[in-house]
């Protein structure tokens, strides 16, 4: 709601907004009684989680495609994304009812690499803008914390029993909360704030004079 | 309670998940903080560099203004001390004619006044030439430099010569004037400080670069000396040279040749830059 009413936003933040919306709907569906009654089919718990992986990857890849500036990296995203999506969809269809650790792990690695590249690109930009003044920084930090925190959980989730899964699912919930807090900070950094921070850096330069 | 369950559990998978998650979170948070602090450090360093550049520009500008004022003062002094008394004397002679009716004396007074006026005309012509040499405007850089060296050699204490190898096409007039002023300033410095017996200038073009090289056998500067003087409060003439080169986006290099017998100053300009950059 805050996002919708807080003025004009970049396209990257719209992607994050749609991701948040989809996550919310997915969580609502997961918490409802439908997945518990269905062990197979598109609304079963594992199916919802596997589809979530695909949609999550599409949205995160779009975010980085819009946020990154180097053309070669953007082209790489365009090339790798269909390959990964094809692999995930094929893998999901071939092993229907179980939780798919491998696609999630690969997705996690790919997105974490993009997060690290984003920070590297920002450090190499020769400008006087503080990195934390950009909304994209907070979004990337949130994505990175979420994927790093849930990495080992999702790697092993397929092999865990349902009771152990439930015990460890709190890690996913905790990382989700952390990610959403970072997204909220990203949405709250208005364009005015961003430009105020730029002009403050100029003021501190004149104070040096 | 979850933590206790995990720690009490004998399952290595559970422990791996727990410790792996903690490790990844610590690494990620550490990386984010490292990036924030590193970028802050970079920005602080960039701002300090910008500040230094700004101070250097300010110094160059002050030197330029000071030199301009000095030139105006010299001009005012030349006109006041030389031209003024001459014209006043000519006026005296002509005034005398109003009173003295003797024809011989009148003729003598007019002749004297004419001599003084001729001298004044020559003086004003010299002042005007020093402000803007007509040879430069009418015949170009090569002729103006040759002219300059002829006057220097005429004094007898130092031999000056110039050789332009690739100057068939003249540069734009503003650029020629700036280059001439730089050469004039360098030659003045050599005459004032170096105690040399010869100055030789060569010009040539290499690709897109226009080179002028000055050689002299006196006491000269190395590049380190030039940079040190440029950063200090003195060395107005050198600062003026630097600001003129900044306008032309050119470079200057001071060195001593390998045989240690003479000093060389190399000026490099880009031929393609038609617009003179004024900040």
pLDDT (tens digit per residue) in B33-82: 999 998 888 888 888 988 988 888 888 888 878 878 888 888 888 888 88
Nearest residue on chain B to A170, alpha-carbon basis? B2
Higher pLDDT, A43 or B74: B74
- Whether the per-residue pLDDT at A99 is higher than 70: the answer is no
**d(CA B12, nearest CA chain A) in Å:** 11
pLDDT tens across A17-38, in order?
999 999 998 888 877 766 565 5
CATH code (residue B268): 3.30.565.10
For residue A194, the enclosing domain spans 9-208
Q: Is-contact B199 B152, C-beta < 8 A?
A: yes
- Whether the per-residue pLDDT at A97 is higher than 60: the answer is no
pLDDT of residue B278: 42
Q: Is A93 inside a domain boundary?
A: yes
pLDDT tens across A149-181, in order?
999 988 887 777 777 777 888 888 899 999 999
Q: Is B84 inside a domain boundary?
A: no
Residue A158 touches partner B, C-beta closer than 8 Å: no
Q: Is-contact A158 A121, C-beta < 8 A?
A: no
Same-domain status, B255 and B168: yes
Same-domain status, B224 and B142: yes
Cα distances from A124 to residues A65, A70, A163, B37, in angstroms, run 18, 12, 47, 14
Q: Is A53 inside a domain boundary?
A: yes
Q: Is-contact A41 A54, C-beta < 8 A?
A: no
How large is the C-alpha radius of gyration of chain A?
19
Q: Is-contact A58 A52, C-beta < 8 A?
A: no
Q: What angle do CA B111, B112, B116 make, to 5 degrees?
A: 120
The residue among B29, B50, B65 that closes a domain is B65
Ranges A157-166, B106-115, B131-140, most confident? B106-115
Q: Which two tokens stand for residue A144?
A: 């990175």
Same-domain status, B36 and B145: no
Across the range B93-117, mean pLDDT stands at 84
- Whether the per-residue pLDDT at B154 is higher than 50: the answer is yes
**d(CA B225, nearest CA chain A) in Å:** 27
Q: Is B78 inside a domain boundary?
A: no
pLDDT of residue A79: 93
**d(CA A88, nearest CA chain B) in Å:** 23
Ranges A110-124, A160-174, B236-250, most confident? A110-124
Same-domain status, B31 and B144: no
Same-domain status, B180 and B56: no
Is there a contact between A201 and B28 if contact means CB atoms under 8 Å apart?
Answer: no
Q: Is B33 inside a domain boundary?
A: yes
Same-domain status, B143 and B61: no
Q: Is A1 inside a domain boundary?
A: no
Q: Is B9 inside a domain boundary?
A: yes
Q: Which two tokens stand for residue B272?
A: 């393609």
Higher pLDDT, A107 or A51: A107
Which pTM was predicted?
A: 0.60
pLDDT of residue A77: 92
- Whether the per-residue pLDDT at A10 is higher than 70: the answer is yes
- Whether the per-residue pLDDT at A7 is higher than 70: the answer is no
- Whether the per-residue pLDDT at A1 is higher than 60: the answer is no
Tell me how many domains chain B contains. 2
For residue B16, the enclosing domain spans 2-65
Q: Is B97 inside a domain boundary?
A: no
Same-domain status, B59 and B152: no
- Whether the per-residue pLDDT at B234 is higher than 50: the answer is yes
Across the range B110-131, mean pLDDT stands at 84
Nearest residue on chain A to B46, alpha-carbon basis? A128
What pLDDT band is residue B277 in, cutting at 50, 70 and 90? very low
Q: Which residues of B touch A201 (CB under 8 A)?
A: 43, 47
Same-domain status, B141 and B265: yes
pLDDT of residue B68: 80
Q: Which residues of A touch B25 (CB under 8 A)?
A: 145, 148-149
Across the range A180-189, mean pLDDT stands at 91
Indicate which of A149, A176, A185 best probes the interface with B, i.e. most B CBs within 10 Å of its own CB. A149
Q: Within 13 Å of residue B249, how many CA atoms lie on the same side as its CB?
A: 11
Q: Which two tokens stand for residue B199?
A: 């100055």
- Whether the per-residue pLDDT at B263 is higher than 70: the answer is yes
Q: What angle do CA B43, B47, B53 make, to 5 degrees?
A: 145
The residue among B20, B48, B65 that closes a domain is B65
Indicate which of A105, A175, A176, A205 best probes the interface with B, i.e. most B CBs within 10 Å of its own CB. A205
Is there a contact between B2 and A167 if contact means CB atoms under 8 Å apart?
Answer: yes
The residue among B10, B42, B65 that closes a domain is B65
Across the range A45-57, mean pLDDT stands at 82
Nearest residue on chain B to A123, alpha-carbon basis? B39
What is the rounded end-to-end Cα distance, in angstroms, of chain A?
A: 44
Same-domain status, B257 and B168: yes
Indicate which of B28, B36, B44, B48 best probes the interface with A, i.e. most A CBs within 10 Å of its own CB. B28
Q: Is B39 inside a domain boundary?
A: yes
A89-128 core/surface letters (b: 16 or more CB in 10 A; e: else):
eeebeeeeeebbbebbbbbbebbbebbebbbeebeeeeeb
Same-domain status, B159 and B54: no
- Whether the per-residue pLDDT at A76 is higher than 90: the answer is yes
Is there a contact between B43 and A201 if contact means CB atoms under 8 Å apart?
Answer: yes
Q: Is B83 inside a domain boundary?
A: no
Q: Is-contact B192 B170, C-beta < 8 A?
A: no
Tell me how many domains chain A contains. 1
Q: Is B262 inside a domain boundary?
A: yes
Gap between the Cα atoms of B171 and B252, Å rounded: 19
ipTM of the assembly? 0.81
- Whether the per-residue pLDDT at A109 is higher than 90: the answer is yes
φ and ψ of B49, to 5 deg: -65, -45
């Amino acid at each position: 709601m805050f996002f919708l009413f807080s003025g004009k936003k970049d396209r990257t933040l719209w992607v994050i907004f749609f991701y948040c919306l989809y996550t919310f709907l997915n969580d609502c569906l997961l918490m409802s009684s439908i997945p518990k009654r269905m062990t197979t089919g598109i609304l079963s718990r594992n199916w919802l989680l596997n589809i979530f992986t695909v949609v999550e990857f599409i949205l995160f890849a779009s975010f980085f495609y819009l946020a990154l500036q180097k053309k070669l990296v953007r082209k790489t995203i365009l090339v790798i994304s269909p390959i990964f999506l094809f692999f995930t969809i094929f893998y999901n269809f071939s092993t229907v009812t179980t939780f798919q650790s491998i696609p999630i792990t690969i997705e996690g690695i790919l997105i974490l690499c993009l997060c690290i590249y984003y920070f590297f690109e920002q450090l190499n930009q020769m400008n006087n803008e503080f990195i934390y003044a950009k909304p994209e920084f907070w979004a990337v930090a949130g994505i990175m914390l979420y994927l790093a925190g849930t990495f080992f959980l999702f790697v092993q989730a397929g092999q865990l029993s349902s009771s152990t899964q439930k015990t460890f699912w709190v890690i996913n919930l905790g990382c989700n909360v952390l990610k959403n807090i970072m997204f909220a900070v990203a949405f709250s950094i208005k364009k005015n704030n961003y430009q105020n921070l730029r002009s403050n850096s100029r003021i501190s330069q004149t104070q040096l004079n | 309670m979850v933590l206790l369950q995990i720690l009490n559990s004998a399952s290595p998978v559970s422990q791996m998940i727990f410790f792996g998650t903690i490790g990844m979170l610590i690494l990620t948070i550490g990386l984010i903080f490292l990036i924030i602090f590193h970028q802050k450090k970079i920005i602080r360093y960039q701002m300090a560099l910008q500040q230094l550049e700004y101070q250097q520009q300010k110094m160059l500008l002050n030197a330029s203004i000071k030199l301009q004022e000095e030139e105006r003062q010299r001009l005012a002094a030349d006109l006041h001390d030389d031209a003024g008394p001459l014209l006043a004397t000519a006026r005296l002679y002509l005034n005398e004619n109003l009173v003295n009716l003797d024809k011989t004396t009148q003729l003598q007074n007019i002749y004297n006044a004419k001599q003084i006026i001729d001298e004044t005309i020559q003086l004003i012509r010299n002042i005007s030439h020093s402000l803007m040499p007509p040879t430069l405007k009418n015949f170009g850089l090569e002729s103006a430099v040759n002219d300059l060296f002829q006057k220097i050699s005429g004094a007898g204490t130092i031999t000056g010569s110039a050789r332009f190898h690739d100057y068939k096409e003249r540069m734009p007039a503003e650029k020629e004037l700036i280059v001439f002023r730089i050469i004039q300033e360098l030659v003045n410095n050599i005459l004032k400080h170096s105690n040399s017996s010869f100055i030789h200038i060569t010009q040539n073009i290499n690709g897109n670069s226009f080179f002028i090289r000055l050689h002299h056998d006196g006491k000269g500067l190395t590049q380190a000396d030039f940079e040190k003087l440029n950063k200090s409060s003195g060395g107005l003439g050198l600062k003026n040279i630097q600001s003129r080169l900044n306008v032309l986006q050119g470079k200057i290099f001071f060195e001593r040749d390998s045989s240690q017998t003479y000093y060389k100053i190399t000026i490099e300009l880009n031929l393609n830059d038609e617009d003179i950059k004024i900040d």
